Amino acid sequence: MSVELKEDYYSEFVTEIVFERKGRNTDLINVPNQLELIGKGRSAFVFKIKDEGRAIKVFYPPFEHIAQDEARNYKKVEGIPYYPTVYMSGKNYIVMDYIEGKTFSQCLIEGLRLTEDHVNQVNEALVAAKNKGLNPSDVHLHNLLVTKDNKVHLIDIARFFAEERLFQWDDLKKGYFTHYHRFYFPKKVPKWLMNVVAKIYHSIKK
């Protein structure tokens, strides 16, 4: 399939997706059968494209412009194994590798062990991005993935161009080495507790 036809193919998916804004939330009203919802963030929904090893991230109003920012950042880290490859992007979507794995957040909730090697891989990924002229920001438990073969991947890198330096990863890393291996750290961290800690953290960092 040619690039032009492929672009039309993906664009058709996007035009069939219907969003509805409800207060501060955005809901999905219609999704084409070829797509399977696998995630939702603050500005986009992510779908697995059935019968393909790819995913499509679709930004909903008023965040459509972020698609091009994120696609530009992925282009800069192209070839670095810690980041998914982007195959195509449109005014409000990105087509990229589908990476099967668990987020660091899911690992904590489900009691899956996070190792020092996982932490080191994140460090290497961030250094590699810096070497490409990016400023890694907004690195958190939900955009760090661990695959079955214990490889770490970073997703959601739209803010890697931000001028300000954010310290989430430094703080998470400090928390890992200070508390994670202690006897009092729970084997499984309840989701509600993680949400409470996140709210307290963000209120302190404002």
Reference 96, options 71, 113, 116, 122; nearest CA is 71
- pLDDT at residue 106, rounded to an integer: 97
- pLDDT at residue 86, rounded to an integer: 95
Q: Is the pLDDT of residue 109 over 50?
A: yes
Per-residue model confidence as pLDDT tens digits over 30-72: 999 999 999 998 899 999 999 888 999 999 999 999 999 999 9
Predicted confidence band of residue 6 (pLDDT cuts 50, 70, 90)? low
Q: Please state, rounded to an integer, the average pLDDT across all residues of the chain.
A: 92
106 touches 135 (CB < 8 A): no
d(CA 166, CA 195): 19
CATH annotation of 3-97: 3.30.200.20
Predicted confidence band of residue 105 (pLDDT cuts 50, 70, 90)? very high
- pLDDT at residue 171, rounded to an integer: 94
- pLDDT at residue 143, rounded to an integer: 95
d(CA 75, CA 18): 28
Both tokens assigned to 130 = 């810096």
Q: Is the pLDDT of residue 88 over 60?
A: yes
- pLDDT at residue 13, rounded to an integer: 85
Per-residue model confidence as pLDDT tens digits over 122-174: 999 999 999 999 999 889 999 999 999 999 999 999 989 877 666 889 999 99
Both tokens assigned to 134 = 């990016």
CA distances in angstroms from 154 to 95, 113, 164, listed in the order given: 15, 18, 19
Give me the catalytic one of 138, 156, 170, 171: 138
- pLDDT at residue 165, rounded to an integer: 67
- pLDDT at residue 3, rounded to an integer: 47
Predicted confidence band of residue 24 (pLDDT cuts 50, 70, 90)? confident
Domain boundaries, the chain: 3-97, 102-205
Predicted confidence band of residue 110 (pLDDT cuts 50, 70, 90)? very high
Predicted confidence band of residue 98 (pLDDT cuts 50, 70, 90)? very high
CATH annotation of 102-205: 1.10.510
117 in active site? no
> Which residue carries 């672009």 as its tokens?
7
109 touches 188 (CB < 8 A): yes
